[in-house]
Amino acid sequence: MSEYQYYDFKAIDHALTKTEMAALRSISTRAVITSTSLTNHYEWGDLKADPLKLLATYFDAFLYVANWGTREFHLRLPQELVDAKQLKAMLPGKSAQVRCTGQFVTISFENEAEPDDDWDDGTGWMGSLISLRADLLRGDFRALYLGWLFCVQHGEFSDEVLEPLVPAGLRELSAPYDSLIEFLDIDEDLVEVAATASEPLKAAPSRKELATWIRGLTEKEKDCLLVSALTETEERWRIELLRRFEHENVNVSDSGAVDRRTVADLLVASHARAEERKRKLNAQRAAEAARKRAKEEADRALFLDQLAKREKAVWKEVDAYIQKRQPNDYDRAVMLLSNLHDLAVRQGGEDEFHLTMDDLRKTHAAKESFLRRLAKAKL
């Protein structure tokens, strides 16, 4: 199989200008370029540019998949909309990390794994992951925490390192977070253990709450909001407004200390969960196998009961098949004889059966093909 690389870039906060699209076209003549994206794949080739520089210059998201196991997902966020220090503190690893470049913060997830037998051309991932960017801008840090768990899984922190604050909603992950877990192959037992300390997601502000808050804004602030809503094509104004609402309406009543777990705590608990899950799975499989055996034994017993009622006729069928001297008929005769043997064992007449078989072999001693089949069936 040849080498395969897939590149997918997306612009979200702005559309590419004609000049920018022309600059990108000069890098790749065969890429699919639109006002908001660049996609391309290569076999025995490579992108003639640094993809992270393209991300920093033109785009807000970049995804990369190679058939030797490499997977990368990068998100670019405006520094003015996020707290870079807070993001870096949550994600100080290598496989998942935060970098500041100019006016932007880049969050990177990079997975180097063994190639999978299942073919993945990479084309579906961007659509399933891209909404994580909007969540991050709204202050939902579940993707960062999952990235931290990914670094834990790769042994990038010592056992004594404390986890970051656990974000709400880890026990109610939506499809994009499930996709991130699958894309990076994060240990689901580790995720489940970590999620036990996660609070439920806070409900979005109601229309009444928003209306009450907006009535308290000045006329100038309201005018600015209307202008932003009419002129900005993306959701930036909406994200900023909701962030301001949440900041001004934060509930400070729950200020109790939160017990943070160590890396060792999480790894021990996830290993125990994996072992318990394996034990339950093995027990389920054993129970299913027992049910299957019991059913097969019951079916066999019923079959032999019915066979006993026509035993003499079956012996005649055996003789008729042997007389035809055809391979398929020999096979049918041996199958009937095997059933008659099981019936004899069940009825305690195995000695009589063997005497009958001795006579049968003598009668048909010249039929070597048939005798070989008897020997193979241990009859």
Q: What is the pLDDT of residues 305-328, one digit of tens each?
A: 999 999 999 999 999 999 999 999
Mean pLDDT of the 268-291 span: 95
| 256 vs 49: which has the higher pLDDT | 49
The confidence score (pLDDT) of residue 356 equals 92
pTM of the model as a whole: 0.76
How far apart, in whole angstroms, are the C-alpha atoms of residue 139 and residue 244?
Answer: 11
Paired tokens of 100: 């500041």
Which of 106, 128, 108 lies closest to 173, judged by CA?
128
How far apart, in whole angstroms, are the C-alpha atoms of residue 49 and residue 100?
Answer: 20
Cross-strand partners of 42: 5
pLDDT band at 360 (very low <50, low <70, confident <90, very high): very high
The confidence score (pLDDT) of residue 1 equals 52
44-53, 166-175, 238-247: which has the minimum mean pLDDT?
238-247
Range 256-262 contact pairs with CB under 8 angstroms and sequence separation of 24 or more: 258/165, 258/166, 258/197, 259/197, 260/162, 260/163, 260/164, 260/165, 260/166, 261/162, 261/163, 261/197, 262/159, 262/160, 262/161, 262/162, 262/163
Q: Using CB atoms within 10 Å of the CB of residue 335, give its burial: 0 to 12 exposed, 13 to 18 middle, 19+ buried.
A: middle
Q: Are 63 and 127 in contact (CB under 8 A)?
A: no
The confidence score (pLDDT) of residue 120 equals 84
Integer angstrom CA distances of residue 364 from 40, 333, 341: 73, 13, 19
Q: Using CB atoms within 10 Å of the CB of residue 142, give its burial: 0 to 12 exposed, 13 to 18 middle, 19+ buried.
A: buried
Paired tokens of 291: 């049910």
Which of 332, 335, 327, 337 lies closest to 361, judged by CA?
337
The confidence score (pLDDT) of residue 234 equals 60
pLDDT band at 106 (very low <50, low <70, confident <90, very high): very high
The confidence score (pLDDT) of residue 233 equals 60
Q: How many whole angstroms from its chain centre is CA 372?
A: 52
The confidence score (pLDDT) of residue 256 equals 46
Mean pLDDT of the 342-364 span: 92
The confidence score (pLDDT) of residue 118 equals 73
Q: Name the average pLDDT for the chain.
A: 90
Mean pLDDT of the 127-138 span: 94
The confidence score (pLDDT) of residue 45 equals 84
Grouping H, G, I as helix, E, B as strand and the rest as coil, residue 39 is strand
Mean pLDDT of the 279-298 span: 94
Mean pLDDT of the 2-28 span: 93
Beta strands at 96-101 and 61-66: parallel, antiparallel or unpaired: unpaired
Q: Is the pLDDT assigned to residue 224 strictly greater than 90?
A: no
Q: Is the pLDDT assigned to residue 348 strictly greater than 80?
A: yes
The confidence score (pLDDT) of residue 42 equals 92
Any residues with CB less than 8 A from the CB of 95 and at least 6 apart, and which? 109, 110, 111, 147, 150, 151, 154, 156
Q: How many whole angstroms from its chain centre is CA 310?
A: 56
Any residues with CB less than 8 A from the CB of 40 and at least 6 apart, and which? 6, 7, 28, 30, 31, 32, 47
Q: How many whole angstroms from its chain centre is CA 42?
A: 25
How far apart, in whole angstroms, are the C-alpha atoms of residue 338 and residue 376?
Answer: 11
Rounded to 5°, the CA angle 86-90-95 comes to: 130
How far apart, in whole angstroms, are the C-alpha atoms of residue 84 and residue 104?
Answer: 9
